[in-house]
Amino acid sequence: MIIDSHNHIYYHGLNAEGVLEEMDRFGFDVTWLLTWYLPPGEHIQNNYGVFNPCNVRPDGTHAGATLDDLSRACEKYPNRFIAGYCPCPTEGNASAMFEAAVKMHNVRICGEWSYRTVLDDPRAIELFQTAGDLNTPVVLHIDTPSLNGIYQEDWYGGEIDTLERALSKCPNTIFVGHAPGFWRHISGNENTDPEKYPSGPVTPGGRLFDMLTQHKNLWADLSAGSGLNALKRMDDGGLNFLIENQDRLLFGRDAPGNALQEYLNDLNLSDNVAAKIYHQNALRLVPLN
């Protein structure tokens, strides 16, 4: 069994049937479909060619991947898709909106977080605590606000310290880290590396290793280029990292294609470790109905 724990609908040209076609071609049984909602003030210009054109607002900004798109796909294919949704903490009562989505749309994941709000903002903490109360994991897209001292306009979540504070303030909530601003912290030179996707070898002192040890509510998904890139930076291709953290890692794609599975298969993981990463860990967080 394989569960893709991170993907989207109407993304890079794939509607529900397009995602299903890929799932069948690659042998995936279930996919977590996550929202990627963008408030008007956080519009990104290249979204026009990536997301559903129906979600362009009258002011020209793009809302991204929305709950409306996702819920229709999940209702149409309930045995293949599981719904995830993360409301914006600065628009209305995000905690109440999320709880309503759980009840009305069978949302099982709080995700994907993709906001230019620090993770320990009180409104975000309230949302995360609600997710924990509802036994739904929180999937975080983290992009650093600064690369080697240069401000990045498209940041999400803040620096890694905000994640540590959120983990401490929400001990009953499972956080699933993801994206370049998360995975860059496998290396100790993350503060001086100018690349969004660092390509150099891992240097000692990466904070992510200590955080995974100290915070048992921190998990990670290997999706997108950021997760795969992190594995490739490690001396052994990430094999030891996968083995040591086998109980809190999730397989995911976050895009069309199958590069991650092909890479993992070449590592010759044991059947036990592979089963955890490919589906058992996901089922621990979100059991199938």
pTM exceeds 0.85, yes or no: yes
Q: How far apart are CA 189 and CA 117, in angstroms?
A: 24
Length of the chain measured in residues? 289
pLDDT band (50, 70, 90) for residue 271: very high
pLDDT of residue 5: 98
Q: Is the pLDDT of residue 246 over 80?
A: yes
For 7-48, how does the pLDDT look when each residue is reduced to its tens digit (9 = 90+)? 999 999 899 999 999 999 999 999 999 999 999 988 887 778
Average pLDDT, whole number, for the chain? 95
Q: Which of 146, 148, 169 is nearest to 157 (CA)?
A: 146
pLDDT at 195: 86
Strand residue runs (E) in the chain: 3-7, 30-33, 36-37, 64-65, 81-83, 110-113, 138-141, 146-147, 150-151, 175-178, 218-221, 249-250
Query: 148 pLDDT exceeds 90?
Result: no
Q: Where are the domains of the chain?
A: 3-285
CB 166 within 8 A of CB 125: yes
Q: Is the pLDDT of residue 289 over 80?
A: no
pLDDT of residue 130: 98
pLDDT at residue number 190: 84
Answer with the residue of higher pLDDT: 136 or 147. 136
Q: Which residues lie below 8 Å from residue 113, measured CB to CB, with a gap of 6+?
A: 86, 119, 138, 139, 140, 141, 156, 157
Contact at 8 Å (CB) between 112 and 35?
yes
CATH for 3-285 is 3.20.20.140
Q: Which pLDDT does position 200 carry in this prediction?
A: 87
Rounded Cα gap, residues 196 and 107, in angstroms:
31
Backbone angles phi, psi at 225, to 5 degrees: -65, -25
| Kind plus residue range of the DSSP H or E element containing 128 | helix 122-133
Q: Cα separations (Å) of 154 from 72, 103, 115, 122?
A: 29, 32, 9, 21
Q: Are 162 and 156 a contacting pair, CB within 8 Å?
A: no
Residue 72 has pLDDT above 90, yes or no: yes
- Per-residue pLDDT averaged across 258-264, rounded? 96
Mean pLDDT over residues 190-219, rounded? Answer: 92
Query: What is the DSSP secondary-structure string of 213-227?
Result: HH-TTEEEE--HHHH
The mean pLDDT value for 77-92 works out to 97
Per-residue pLDDT band for 196 (boundaries 50, 70, 90) equals confident
Tell me which residue of 83, 134, 81 sits closest to 111, measured CA to CA: 83
Q: Please answer whether residues 43 and 16 qualify as being in contact, where contact means their C-beta atoms are separated by less than 8 angstroms.
A: no
Residue 133 has pLDDT above 90, yes or no: yes
Whether the per-residue pLDDT at 178 is higher than 90: the answer is yes
CB 9 within 8 A of CB 73: yes
pLDDT confidence of residue 223: 96
